[in-house]
């Protein structure tokens, strides 16, 4: 394949030794996921499932900035504005099926979460069997900042993080370090970025677990773990308003910073996200959570702040979204409940 041809491929697929290598290849867009990319990954997973040559699957990102910044939300915005919201429905349906497929894949799936790994980047890596972070990793679910809510199984993962750390991550939308990601259950192995090329080369012939045991080192101390005592107390509140009151009453500077950050997010998204997290904690499987997230994602487009959030962030880039409602107290329980109802076109149905 010529260099030019490779640049045109949004996903590069290759079998090297016993390693099936999936490289997300939109580095200028920080490897943001498109429908073409999701379809390519699903097709490769299906093909390699029965391919005896492939013993391990690797998921990585092209370029030096990160694995993946999430879904191509600008493309979704454009589709909805063009009167074609079905494109967003089709994308999320395919993406969530990919997330579920990764979680149950019969062969080891190694996700290299180096650099930026946000939203859909978490979904394409953190449901695999071997999740690798580095000193450069920035892992997060920033959806509340664009009038959306954590998806791709994000509410499943965050609701199962120790204590209330996942709630803190979801409501602030702030990225965390590789060490924090391991402590929160989003990753497994800490590898220095300078060792990644050697690690990948070793995976072409070696057993995934043995290779990672060789290259992984002890992660630094997790900052979230050190802050867990006050985070667990604050985010146990039953409402977003209660959480903000608790944050503002604390002496820790980080608590005040978190309150300021949360106050800039979509009030609707904050309340929907908190309910989604609490509900996800009670659901029994990733598939059940993905079904719930599908309902919420579609509702964010049709009745939430998604379009306004993307406009302010990626279209006009004025960073001044006009959230509606603009205040938390104006987001009623019935409004939030509507985000969890079955969509007109039917549920995703992953859980049967």
Query: Dihedrals φ, ψ of 244, to 5°?
Result: -65, -40
Note whether 203 and 19 are within 8 A (CB): yes
Q: Which tokens is 19 given?
A: 């390693």
Sheet holding 116-118, edge to edge: 66-68, 116-118, 138-140
Cα-based distances in Å from 142 to 265, 268, 291: 10, 15, 20
151 as an active site residue: the answer is: yes
Residue 100's CB: how many other CB atoms inside 10 A? 21
Q: Which tokens is 250 given?
A: 């604390």
Contact residues for 45 (Cβ-Cβ < 8 A; gap 6+)? 57, 98, 101, 102, 105
From 71, 140, 173, 206, the catalytic residue: 71
Distance from C-alpha of 8 to C-alpha of 33, rounded to nearest angstrom: 14
Distance from C-alpha of 73 to C-alpha of 350, rounded to nearest angstrom: 23
Scanning the chain, the segments in alpha helix (DSSP H) are: 3-8, 35-49, 73-81, 86-103, 120-123, 154-159, 165-172, 178-183, 196-203, 208-215, 223-234, 240-249, 253-262, 267-282, 286-302, 306-310, 333-337
Cα-based distances in Å from 340 to 97, 283, 287, 352: 19, 14, 15, 17
Distance from C-alpha of 133 to C-alpha of 136, rounded to nearest angstrom: 8
From 72, 151, 287, 293, the catalytic residue: 151
7 as an active site residue: the answer is: no
330 as an active site residue: the answer is: no
Note whether 58 and 112 are within 8 A (CB): yes
Distance from C-alpha of 349 to C-alpha of 328, rounded to nearest angstrom: 32
Distance from C-alpha of 28 to C-alpha of 45, rounded to nearest angstrom: 25
From 72, 89, 143, 291, the catalytic residue: 143
From 61, 66, 120, 154, the catalytic residue: 120
Q: Catalytic residue numbers?
A: 71, 120, 143, 151
């Amino acid at each position: 394949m010529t260099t030019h041809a490779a640049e045109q491929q949004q996903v590069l697929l290759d079998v090297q030794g016993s390693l099936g290598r999936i490289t997300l290849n939109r580095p200028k867009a920080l490897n943001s996921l498109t429908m073409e990319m999701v379809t390519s990954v699903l097709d490769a997973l299906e093909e390699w499932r029965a391919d005896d040559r492939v013993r391990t699957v690797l998921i990585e990102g092209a370029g030096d900035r990160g694995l993946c910044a999430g879904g191509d939300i600008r493309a979704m915005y454009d589709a909805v504005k063009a009167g074609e919201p079905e494109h967003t429905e089709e994308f999320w349906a395919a993406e969530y099926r990919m997330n579920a497929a990764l979680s149950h894949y019969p062969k080891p799936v190694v996700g290299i979460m180096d650099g930026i790994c946000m939203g859909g980047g978490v979904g394409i890596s953190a449901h695999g069997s071997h999740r690798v972070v580095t000193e450069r990793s920035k892992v997060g679910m920033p959806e509340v900042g664009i009038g959306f809510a954590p998806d791709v199984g994000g509410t499943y993962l965050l609701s199962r993080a120790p204590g209330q750390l996942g709630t803190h991550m979801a409501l602030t939308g702030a990225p965390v370090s590789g060490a924090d990601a391991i402590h929160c259950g989003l990753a497994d192995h800490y590898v220095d970025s300078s060792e990644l090329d050697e690690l990948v080369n070793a995976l072409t012939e070696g057993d995934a677990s043995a290779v990672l045991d060789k290259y992984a080192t002890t992660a630094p101390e997790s900052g979230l773990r050190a802050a867990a005592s006050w985070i667990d107390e604050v985010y146990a509140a039953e409402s977003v308003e209660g959480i903000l009151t608790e944050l503002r009453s604390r002496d820790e500077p980080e608590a005040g910073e978190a309150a300021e950050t949360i106050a800039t997010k979509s009030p609707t998204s904050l309340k929907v996200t908190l309910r989604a997290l609490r509900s996800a904690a009670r659901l029994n499987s990733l598939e059940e959570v993905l079904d719930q997230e599908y309902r919420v994602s579609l509702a964010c487009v049709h009745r939430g702040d998604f379009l306004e959030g993307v406009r302010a962030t990626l279209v006009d880039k004025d960073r001044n979204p006009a959230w509606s409602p603009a205040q938390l107290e104006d987001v009623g329980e019935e409004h939030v409940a509507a985000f969890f109802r079955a969509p007109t076109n039917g549920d995703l149905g992953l859980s049967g």
